[in-house]
């Protein structure tokens, strides 16, 4: 099985890469990244191919030729809305994944096999933004709807979205957290303060990175495709065309985490 990963140097992407490296059923891992990926280099795993890709809004034939036989993708590329301006946030969050979805369509027609595309969204994403909805919630929701439309037009492009809650890295193996990006003193301190609050008091909103990486990898492999067809209630919903919106509670149940 050949999987694609973006955002491999970020917090979520790092733990997804770790999960992919530990999964023996994966025969090839193609990483699209603007810069070298230290975890991939240190792993020295022959299955990994890091493709240095500077512009995520376009894909050359050379890049696509390295991806065309892929079975799935975890789209973990993202950034906090506090770190960039509005225009850049929309470009990274919405334009980039939709550009990939469009560019990959010829490959799907050539192989005529299903492709599991997993978009990492987040709690707070909404299809009905209000006056005070942050740009994060509005843009993520718009991207989800656009990906649902792509899936509706081409059912081979099995797009889904996952909405993690508080992403908590503190229980992750320290040999992996060293590859995660530095958060700064303020965000690190806040993470330590909130860790027990979410882990023990607000479990439904808690998304520990290690099981999250395994879950996202499993989704890209098609592991939970049947379960996604009947999402409802606090575990998610299925939009017209079969697009699953996976809430944090489904992730927690699938990975055996207490609710």
DSSP code of residue 205? G
DSSP code of residue 134? -
Q: Is the pTM of this model over 0.75?
A: yes
Beta-carbon count within 10 A of 166 CB = 18
| pLDDT in 10s for each residue of the chain, 259 residues | 999 999 999 999 999 999 999 999 999 999 999 999 999 999 999 999 999 999 999 999 999 999 989 999 999 999 888 888 999 999 999 999 999 999 999 999 888 999 999 999 999 999 999 989 999 999 999 999 999 999 999 999 999 999 999 899 888 888 898 998 887 777 788 888 888 888 888 888 889 999 999 999 999 999 999 999 999 999 999 999 999 999 999 999 999 998 7
Given its phi and psi angles, is residue 173 left (phi above 0), alpha (psi -120 to 50 degrees) or beta? beta
The residue behind tokens 């609710």 is: 259
31 CB-side CA count, 13 A: 27
* DSSP per position, 139-156: HHHHHHHHHHHHHHH-TT
């Amino acid at each position: 099985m050949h999987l694609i990963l973006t955002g491999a140097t970020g917090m979520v992407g790092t733990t997804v890469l770790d999960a992919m490296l530990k999964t023996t059923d994966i025969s090839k891992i193609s990483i699209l990244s603007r810069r070298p990926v230290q975890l991939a280099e240190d792993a020295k795993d022959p299955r990994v191919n890091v493709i240095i890709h500077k512009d995520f809004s376009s894909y050359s034939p050379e890049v696509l030729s390295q991806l065309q036989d892929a079975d799935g993708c975890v789209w973990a590329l993202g950034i906090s809305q506090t770190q960039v301006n509005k225009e850049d946030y929309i470009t990274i969050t919405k334009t980039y994944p939709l550009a990939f979805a469009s560019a990959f369509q010829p490959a799907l027609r050539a192989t005529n096999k299903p492709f599991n595309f997993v978009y990492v969204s987040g709690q707070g994403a909404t299809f009905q933004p209000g006056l005070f909805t942050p740009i994060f919630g509005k843009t993520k929701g718009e991207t989800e709807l656009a990906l649902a439309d792509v899936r509706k037009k081409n059912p081979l492009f099995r797009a889904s979205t996952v909405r993690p809650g508080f992403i908590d890295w503190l229980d992750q193996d320290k040999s992996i957290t060293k590859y995660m990006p530095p958060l700064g003193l303020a965000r690190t301190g806040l993470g330590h303060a909130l860790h027990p609050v979410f882990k023990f008091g607000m479990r439904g909103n808690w998304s520990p990175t290690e099981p999250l990486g395994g879950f996202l990898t499993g989704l890209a492999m098609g592991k939970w495709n049947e379960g996604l067809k009947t999402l409802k209630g606090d575990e998610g919903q299925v939009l017209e065309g079969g697009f699953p919106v996976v809430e944090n509670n489904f992730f927690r149940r699938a990975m055996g985490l207490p609710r």
